[in-house]
Structure 1
Amino acid sequence: MARPLASRLFWAYKKLMSIINEPKKPKRVGRPPVESEQLRSRAPMTLVRAVDSWAEKHNMTRAEAIRCLIQIALKADHDTIKE
């Protein structure tokens, strides 16, 4: 036997209220978390110009170029140690 209309409306009202009154997570402001750490360093202008030149040749930003050059240097060092 079907429920009376009042019973169905009450159930629908309770369901709707539980959805509406559900606690919402506050939106986070700012940059999302990343698996990295910021490195800060000073370099002579000759080195900065050399990095900028290399970055321009490879169509990269300065930050991308620095990361790439560090990886190249670490790989070269690792290969030298293996030999």
Structure 2
Amino acid sequence: MKEIKYEPGIRVYCGSLEDIIRTGYVHDAFICQVVIGENDVQYRVKHPNNHTEVVPERDLYISKEEVYTQVKDYFSDLKLRFGNDG
């Protein structure tokens, strides 16, 4: 059985890490439904404008601090891979 990380009704922030870095914007949403697939768990989320979409678990964050940490870790990893001489 796949682990369900978020329950319906929880407020989350969503967006792929690449989109968040590119745009500087993260979407506010609420979990509506858990969608269990063969290989992963996804979540149907509802945005304040009533738009709904299915989002993979990797694109959901429980807090703004978690978003900041993911972005910071991404850039720290780049610094480690490319060195500090540029």
Assess same fold via TM > 0.5. no
Could you say which structure has the higher strand fraction? 2
Higher Rg: 1
Q: How does the TM-score come out when normalised to structure 1?
A: 0.29
Could you say which structure has the higher helix fraction? 1
Q: How does the TM-score come out when normalised to structure 2?
A: 0.28
